[in-house]
Amino acid sequence: MAVGIFDSGLGGLTVLAAAQKRLPDVDFLYLGDSANAPYGVRDADDVYNLTTRAVERLWDAGCDLVILACNTASAAALRRMQEGGLPKGKRVLGVFVPLIEALTERQWGDNSPPREVAVKHVALFATPATVASRAFQRELAFRAIGVDVEAQACGGVVDAIEEGDMILAEALVRSHVDALRRKMPHPQAAILGCTHYPLMQEAFQDALGRDVQVFSQGTLVADSLADYLERHPDMLGRGEGGYLTTGDASRVSDRATQFLRRQITFAAA
């Protein structure tokens, strides 16, 4: 039995690692669309089409539940997929909502009207496509009022991480934080709105300062998934776990092993 986890590349491994730690008895089938990464510079229709194709591949492999461990896919494709109607017995969940619930201190499934929250000034670091979608602001408005969100499109960071150039990635992080601070000098909290960015969390924290609370998604999504599966145990699926990629399996395996610091072997999707 396996739950599907999808990302445009390797960033979703941060969510996968947290989910495996939180749910050691659950198998996960990970699919990274490395042949088409990064998604953050693509238009919404392109992201939707690529995401739909990947999710259908995971459904075909026996995953009844698929987590979009990609903020760009969650922003551009999730609502459209859900509103278009999903096959019977299939579900797709994104990574925005657990993050927003943590930021606004709301319990999972709390559907009460939006209310004022303690955090008033939030910095959002995300891919250009996620920033352009304004999906984070839309979901936040369902749960909180009076929150000022300043978004910073972090071009180049995902590419640097995927290439394993962490020195360049760190330099880009500092540059993007500086650009954000010119627009919002004193953020109270920062959202790492891309599942690649937890790999650079210390760089973000250092550039922002220790007084800024930094939210990233791995543990938050894993906890929400555990809650969901407790309430919907039938969504565990019938497939087997593993790692799939649309890219070069050998190269992706090497990069993934560096990411998680344990041997990861991908197969062709």
**What pLDDT does 169 receive?**
97
**What pLDDT does 238 receive?**
84
Positive or negative, the Cα torsion across 195, 199, 205, 207? negative
Whether the full predicted model's pTM is greater than 0.85, yes or no, is: yes
Residues with catalytic roles? 70, 194
3-state secondary structure 92-159: EECCHHHHHHHHHCCCCCCCCCCEECCCCEEEEEECHHHHHHCHHHHHHHCCEECCEEEEEECCCHHH
**What pLDDT does 261 receive?**
86
Please choose, from the candidates 148, 146, 176, 182, the residue with its C-alpha nearest in 3D space to the C-alpha of residue 160.
Answer: 176
Domains of the chain (ranges plus CATH)? 2-96+218-268 (3.40.50.1860), 97-215 (3.40.50.1860)
**What pLDDT does 107 receive?**
72
**What pLDDT does 108 receive?**
61
Stretches in the chain below the pLDDT threshold 70: 108-109
**What pLDDT does 171 receive?**
98
CA distances for 96 relative to 90, 211, 239, angstroms? 19, 23, 26
pLDDT digits (tens, 9 = 90+) for 216-243: 889 999 999 999 999 999 998 888 999 9
Q: Are 140 and 146 in contact (CB under 8 A)?
A: no
Pairing assessment for the beta strands 148-153 and 213-215 based on DSSP bridges: unpaired
